[in-house]
């Protein structure tokens, strides 16, 4: 019993540090991007919406993010949980299943100066808001720029081609408008490529 008590985490910070350290190396980049998106998402993201981020190629040779449908996971919930472990929870919300942090303190820890001043592998998981907005803006742009495979027969647009399309159409501009995120993202380079949506202007 004494040994068990001695091994218990001393604080929530230590608990979260242990969880982060236990994320397997192949999942680290995925975990970081998914956590970034959860931190800055304007509304709760459904399982299929957040999992779609894993299908975006952020390292495209042209420097522009691109949706790669072949990268989609068959089991989306497993993909998210395998990446982020117990830092996230999947809950019912109406007719949908949405992803949220398992506790409000997870978000606080990930964005804290405590984690920002950590060392080693833990530091990669610190989430600054500016680059996090950039990542989600890039994911949205990767969706919006994929206009070559629209469903011509049904007459429906790109929303049929990505689970994240509606969120991207409604909120990409919000993430881009963060001045610092816009500067990091170099939005002026990509804006001319965007399809027109609902008559909204930037």
d(CA 188, CA 174): 15
pLDDT for the residue numbered 158: 52
| Torsional sign, CA 98, 177, 199, 195 | negative
Q: Worst-scoring range by mean pLDDT, 32-41, 52-61, 69-78, 146-155?
A: 146-155
Taking 50 as the threshold, does the pLDDT of residue 195 lie above it? yes
Q: Worst-scoring range by mean pLDDT, 103-117, 156-170, 171-185?
A: 171-185
Burial of 36 (0-12, 13-18, 19+ CB in 10 A): buried
pLDDT for the residue numbered 119: 86
Cα 59–Cα 140–Cα 108 angle in degrees, nearest 5: 90
pLDDT band per the 50, 70, 90 thresholds, residue 161? confident
Tokens representing 96 are 């949908």
Average pLDDT (141-153) is 64
* SS3 track for 95-112: CEEEEEECCHHHHHHHCC
The pLDDT tens digits of the residues spanning 93-133 come to 999 999 999 999 999 999 999 999 998 899 999 999 989 99
pTM for the model: 0.80
Taking 90 as the threshold, does the pLDDT of residue 23 lie above it? yes
d(CA 190, CA 185): 9
């Amino acid at each position: 019993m004494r040994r068990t008590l001695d091994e218990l985490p001393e604080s929530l910070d230590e608990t979260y540090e242990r969880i982060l350290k236990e994320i397997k190396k192949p999942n680290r980049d995925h975990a970081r991007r998914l956590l970034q998106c959860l931190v800055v998402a304007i509304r709760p993201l459904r399982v299929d919406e957040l999992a779609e981020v894993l299908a975006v190629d952020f390292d495209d040779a042209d420097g522009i993010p691109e949706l790669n449908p072949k990268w989609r996971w068959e089991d989306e919930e497993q993909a998210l949980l395998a990446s982020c472990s117990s830092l996230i929870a999947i809950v019912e919300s109406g007719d949908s299943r949405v992803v949220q942090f398992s506790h409000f303190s997870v978000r606080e820890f990930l964005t804290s100066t405590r984690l920002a001043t950590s060392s080693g592998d833990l530091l990669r998981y610190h989430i600054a808001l500016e680059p996090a907005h950039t990542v989600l803006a890039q994911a949205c742009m990767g969706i919006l720029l994929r206009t070559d495979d629209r469903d011509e027969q049904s007459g429906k647009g790109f929303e049929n081609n990505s689970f994240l399309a509606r969120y991207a159409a409604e909120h990409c501009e919000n993430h881009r408008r963060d001045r610092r995120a816009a500067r990091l993202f170099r939005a002026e380079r990509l804006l001319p490529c965007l399809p027109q949506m609902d008559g909204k202007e930037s």
